[in-house]
Amino acid sequence: MNASAETRCGFIAIIGAPNAGKSTLLNRYVGSKIAIVTHKVQTTRTRIIGIAIQGDTQLVFVDTPGIFAPRRKLDRAMVSAAWRGAQDADLVLLLVDTLDGITGDVRTIVSGLKKTGRKAFLALNKIDKVKRDTLLAMARELDSSGVFTETFMISALDGNGTDDLLASLVKALPRGPWLYPEDQITDVPLKMLAAEITREQIYLRLHQELPYQIAVEAERWDERKDGSIRIEQVIFVERKSQKGIVIGKGGQALKKIGEMARAEMEEVFGCKIHLFLFVKVAERWSEKPSHYSEIGLDYVE
């Protein structure tokens, strides 16, 4: 590891409304898929750390759940995890989905930052899809809040503008020793990553009829002598009808989810995976505290 006189290291919280592209940006900077990404809002449920290295600098990105007006208990826990992520960080990066414009959620976040006196970097995302005039108008309006030190226009998807943003983040981080080993890229335990991969496949396959309140937990995890891993996971749904949707006609949906998830896990973990999925109805699981710690959240009354 490098001497601390020259090195820099710090936490950068990526915050924003649901679906802004936070996890996409995190994965790009880390260079590996550690946070799941879907077209649905509220994909990320907990804080996820992704570590990138640029020369002498270790950048510790904190992906957070989207911030929005919470109604349900799970929502409240997610939003509070996101704000905590911002509080603890050296730098805050607000990502705005320019396809959506300046929504009520974005205004809420900006005024939240203003209240705490936090300065932030602003990145207008999805510029691959939006006209330049619209982008400039949005930048002007957001800039007038006085919250942002620098503004960037990026596409987390195709990478446009992301190098400039990264270079500026590096400059703004404090000097200090690296906090993580050089080869560590995340703090998500493998078990949770595997559960997230399955949840992503459920979201991707069952978009229309998806019951939002789905949780996946690893029930058994055996690393075998031959180097393979045998994983049993339980998919929790809240109602019997949802169980039917996840399993599908003749078990087809669940089978496909299992195949896709297994392939993805084999790629991410680099070994053979034996995956077994079970679906259970746990009525109102999202109201129960024990399920929260399983997915890395604090239960908020």
Q: Both tokens of residue 55? A: 């020369």
CB of 25 to ligand GTP, least distance (A): 7
How far apart are CB 204 and ligand GTP at their closest, in Å?
10
Dihedrals phi, psi of 132, to nearest 5 degrees: -55, -45
Task: Using CB under 5 A, pick the residue from 10, 12, 15, 23 that binds Mg ion.
Answer: 23
Q: How far is the CB of 56 from ligand GTP (least distance, A)?
A: 28
The interaxial angle of helices 240-247 and 252-269, nearest 10 deg, is 70
Q: In angstroms, what is the minimal distance from the CB of 22 to Mg ion?
A: 5
Q: How far is CA 179 from CA 54, 144, 185, in A?
A: 14, 35, 12
Distances (CA, A) of 45 to 74, 110, 161, 187, 216: 9, 21, 27, 15, 12
CB nearer to Mg ion: pick between 23 and 198: 23
Q: What are phi and psi of 72, to 5 degrees?
A: -85, 170
H helices then E strands: how many in the chain?
A: 9, 9
In which residue are the tokens 């396959």 written? 205
Residue of the chain from 65, 77, 286, 291 that contacts ligand GTP (CB under 6 A): 65
Residue 157 in contact with ligand GTP, rule: CB under 6 A: yes
Q: Which of 17, 285, 28 is nearest to 166 (CA)?
A: 28
User: Is residue 129 close enough to count as binding ligand GTP by CB under 6 A?
Assistant: yes
Site for ligand GTP in 189-218 (CB under 6 A): none
What is residue 233's three-state secondary structure? strand
Shortest reach from residue 229's CB to ligand GTP, in Å: 26
Single out the segment in contact with Mg ion by CB under 5 A; choices: 17-25, 75-83, 110-118, 277-285: 17-25
Taking CB under 6 A as the binding criterion, the range among 46-54, 125-133, 204-212, 252-260 that sits at the site for ligand GTP is 125-133
Question: DSSP state, 131?
Answer: -
Three-point CA angle 103, 113, 301, nearest 5°: 85
User: Footprint of Mg ion on residues 34-93 (CB under 5 A)?
Assistant: 43-44
Task: Please tell me the count of residues contacting ligand GTP according to CB under 6 A.
Answer: 24
Give the span between the Cα atoms of 44 and 188, in whole angstroms.
13
- The residue (of 38 and 233) whose beta carbon lies closer to ligand GTP is 38
Positions that interact with ligand GTP (CB under 6 A)? 16, 18-24, 37-39, 41-44, 65-66, 125-126, 128-129, 155-157
Positions that interact with Mg ion (CB under 5 A)? 22-23, 43-44
